[in-house]
Amino acid sequence: MKANNSLSNIHAIMKREMAGYFGSPVAYVFLVIFLMLVGFFTFYISNFFEMGQADLQGFFQWHPWIFLFLIPAVAMRLWAEERRMGTIELLLTFPITIWEVILGKFLAGWLFIGVGLALTFPMVITVGYLGNPDLGAIFCSYLGSLLMAGAFLSVGAMTSSLTRSQVVAFIIAIVICLFFILAGFAPVTNVLSGWAPAWLVNMVSKMSFLSHFMSIQRGVLDLRDAVYYLSVIFFMLFVNGVVILNRRTS
Amino acid sequence: MIEVKSLTKRFGNKTAVDDVSFTVEKGEILGFLGPNAAGKSTTMRMITGFIPPTAGTAVIGGNDIRTAAIAARRLIGYLPENAPVYPDMTVTAYLDFCAQIRGFSGQERKARIEETIEKCFLRDVRHQAIATLSKGFRQRVCFAQSILHDPPCLILDEPTDGLDPNQKHEVRQMIRRMSADKAIILSTHILEEMETVCDRAIIIARGRIVADDTPARLKTRSAVHGAVSLTLKKGDPDNFIARVKTLPGVAGAQILSREGDNWRARVFPEANDAPILQRILSTLSEGEAETSAIFVEQGRLDEVFRSITT
Ligand SMILES: Nc1ncnc2c1ncn2[C@@H]1O[C@H](COP(=O)(O)OP(=O)(O)OP(=O)(O)O)[C@@H](O)[C@H]1O
Ligand SMILES: [Mg+2]
């Protein structure tokens, strides 16, 4: 009867975190804000209807900016709360590895964001109604957006492990995410290319969430972009683990 | 079952736990005593694997916490100080989470949870959110979590803290009942609790073990151990003291208090087993004082505690 395996442990952690999300009104507020922001940017700023195009580029192009503020909010409680309440002491003395806990928490946050993304499906219905969209491309964009969200989330999870204060975790996450976004933003790369060697400009812009999202928002999911986001996730969660292992108390 | 070997923890240049070694066998309840900041919680945190030791190690049922951490943790049930629990969960959901982490599934998981809820008197609050529970009930929920998987080693950091007298009694009973097949370490500031529950006590001060003995033997270290205390009426106290002091085997005598006709005196023996009681009684029968109480002191733990930790 004893199923002492990693999957069951990760599942237990995930289930608890999901219950934490949906057990509080904050989750619903978050989802509503997300949907409202997405709608506002797509319809009013991108002028979705006037564009006369049956694709969702005007919808996906805003995701990095919306994620910038909303995902650190999703991530901030993951570890900071455990520290503040002292429950981290029990969590780390359970017979499970730190990596199972990290993965469980991360996947819960990712799933939650996935739910948010899934709730934007009326967008797809709208373009389907307006024209004849490439559903495969839309699916790729969704997948890419989810991957990018994962990268944002891993940054937030990492900063959350640094402190017992959710607010501090939130702010540091935004700063780091902003760096990741701006690294590929044209004004920044232009400034940089004025004096920096080409390889540096190239490297910095390759670090960017934005430049890897360019083709994704048009519906092309390049393997390299996927690998990039996954490596960011992997790296951030690794740092997350190192932080937890080195700063268990306080 | 639990072997602690030279555990040491330094925070910066402050040594919180300094070369602590002891073993606890199955069937034994070890009381962990010491003033605030002595290093009790830090020791327990190292044994349970929450913080890594600076030096030394602990071996739980053959599993070294440094090299076989998960196997060691599987054998431990832990109640941390201040009983941390997730406020947003209900009692049942929380225990379900812990049971899953402990590797139980299906019917067995349900049965474990039910059993633990019964044992810890949580039935009335089982569907209540932990945030809305009183402090004592939160403590009980966390205690429930520690015994859920019937672990061979129990590590309890102030398990009765915040409980009412009835619950204190219940928890002590429960710990004693469970002790037959478990190795238990508990820390406490209540000396009387240590005396009634523990088979053995370790007193720790400034990170070091300063005493490791049974509660009964610890008491014999008390200055008043073996002394005869008397409560008397009328008669001449000073004369009584003078006479008693000349008795063989008596090291000293003093008057503790006088109130009108009533007075209290204490007579100290030269050695713990000196037969002074009989001689005092005959001295009393010669005088005109009325005896209202007389007893041989067992020794006082608080006094022993104070003398070895300061
Ligand atoms: N994370 C930490 N960083 C720095 N110092 C610490 C840390 N944890 C504990 N200490 C110090 O270690 C010492 C021992 O603390 P500990 O919590 O083990 O005491 P205790 O015996 O449990 O006391 P109490 O009876 O008050 O619970 C204290 O001086 C404390 O300040
Ligand atoms: Mg303590």
Reduced to 3 states, what is the DSSP secondary structure of residue B122?
coil
Q: What mean pLDDT value characterizes chain B?
A: 89
Q: Where are the domains of chain B?
A: 2-219, 228-299
Please report, for residues A125, A178, B73, B109, the alpha-carbon distance to residue A1 in angstroms, rounded to integers and kept in the order given: 46, 48, 19, 9
Q: What's the CA angle centered on B56, arms B52 and B61, to 5 degrees?
A: 85
The CA distance from B132 to B134, in Å, is: 7
Q: Are B109 and B99 in contact (CB under 8 A)?
A: yes
Q: Does the structure show a pLDDT above 90 at A235? A: yes
pLDDT, tens only, B254-292: 888 888 888 888 888 887 677 788 888 888 777 777 888
- List the structure tokens of A108: 């819960």
Residue of A nearest to B72 (CA): A95
Digit-by-digit pLDDT tens for chain B (310 residues) are 899 999 999 998 999 999 999 999 999 999 999 999 999 999 999 999 999 999 999 999 999 999 999 999 999 999 999 899 999 899 999 999 999 999 999 999 999 999 999 999 899 999 999 999 999 999 999 999 999 999 999 999 999 988 899 989 989 999 999 999 999 999 999 888 898 999 999 999 999 999 898 988 888 877 777 788 888 888 888 888 888 888 888 888 888 888 888 888 888 888 767 778 888 888 877 777 788 888 887 777 788 888 888 8
pLDDT above 60 for A54: yes
Q: How far is the CA of B37 from the centre of ligand 1 (A)?
A: 5
Question: What does DSSP assign to residue B129?
Answer: B
Residue A1: per-residue pLDDT: 37
Contact B105 A97 (CB under 8 A): no
| Residue B246: CB atoms within 10 Å | 9
Which H or E run contains A213?
A: helix A211-217
Rounded-to-integer distance, Cα B198 and Cα B176, Å: 8
At residue A250, does pLDDT exceed 50? yes
Ligand index nearest the alpha carbon of residue B204:
1
Distance in Å from the first CA to the final CA of chain A: 37
SS percent in chain B: helix, strand, coil, step 5: 35, 30, 35
Structure token digits, residue A67: 């994620």
Nearest CA among A173, A167, A136, A172 for reference residue A153: A173
| CB proximity A29 to B under 8 Å | no
Q: CB–CB of A217/A60 below 8 Å? A: yes
Kindly state which CATH superfamily the domain B228-299 is placed in. Answer: MTH889-like domain (3.30.70.1340)
Axis-axis angle for helices A98-118, A6-22 (nearest 10)? 50
**For A97, nearest residue in chain B (alpha carbons):** B70
Residue A34 in this model has a pLDDT that exceeds 50: yes
CA distance B70 to chain A (A): 5
Q: What is the pLDDT of residue A22?
A: 86
Burial per residue of A106-130, b for 16 or more beta-carbon CB atoms within 10 angstroms, e otherwise: bbbbbebbbebbeebeebbebbeee
CA-closest candidate to residue A96, choices A231, A207, A227, A6: A6
More confident residue, B41 or A196: B41
Q: CB distance B104–A92 less than 8 Å?
A: no
Q: Which one of B48, B86, B96 would you mutate to disrupt binding with A, by most A Cβ within 10 Å of its Cβ?
A: B86
Nearest-Cα distance to chain A for B86, in Å, is 7
- Largest Cα separation within chain B, whole Å, is 79
- Total residue length of chain A: 250
| Position A23 confidence tier, pLDDT thresholds 50, 70, 90 | confident
What pLDDT does A2 receive? Answer: 44
How many whole angstroms separate alpha carbon A226 and alpha carbon A220?
A: 11
Query: Quick check: A8 and B73 CB within 8 A?
Result: no
Count CB atoms within 10 A of the CB of residue A52.
Answer: 9
Neighbours of A43 (CB within 10 A): 16
State the nearest Cα–Cα gap between B11 and chain A, in angstroms: 11
Assess contact for A68 and A181: CB atoms under 8 A: yes
**Distance between CA A147 and CA A208 in Å, rounded?**
14
ipTM of the predicted structure?
0.87
A45 burial via Cβ count (<10 Å: 0-12, 13-18, 19+): exposed
Q: Which of A35-39, A218-222, B33-37 has the lowest mean pLDDT?
A: A218-222
- How big is chain B by its Cα radius of gyration, in Å? 25
pLDDT of residue A3: 45
Nearest-CA residue for atom 11 of ligand 1:
B16
Which of these, A67, A60, A26, A41, lies nearest to A174 by C-alpha position?
A67
CA angle A33/A237/B54 to nearest 5° reads 130
Residue A242 in contact with partner chain B when CB distance is under 8 A: no
Which atom of ligand 1 is nearest the CA belonging to B51?
1
Does residue A15 sit at the B interface (CB-CB below 8 Å)? Answer: yes
Identify the pLDDT of residue A48: 66
Instruction: Give the Cα separation of A72 and A160 in Å (integer).
Output: 9
Comparing C-alpha atoms, which of A13, A165, A4, A2 is closest to residue A99?
A13
CATH architecture of B2-219: 3-Layer(aba) Sandwich (3.40)
Q: Where are the domains of chain A?
A: 2-249
Contact B70 A249 (CB under 8 A): no
Q: Let me know if B50 is exposed, middle or buried by CB neighbors in 10 A (0-12, 13-18, 19+).
A: buried
Per-residue pLDDT for A4 more than 70? no
pLDDT digits 0-9 by tens, A105-116: 999 999 999 999
Find the angle CA(B134)-CA(B135)-CA(B141) to the nearest 5 degrees. Answer: 90
pLDDT value, residue B265: 86
Instruction: Using the structure block, give the residue that is written with the tokens 């238990």.
Output: B184
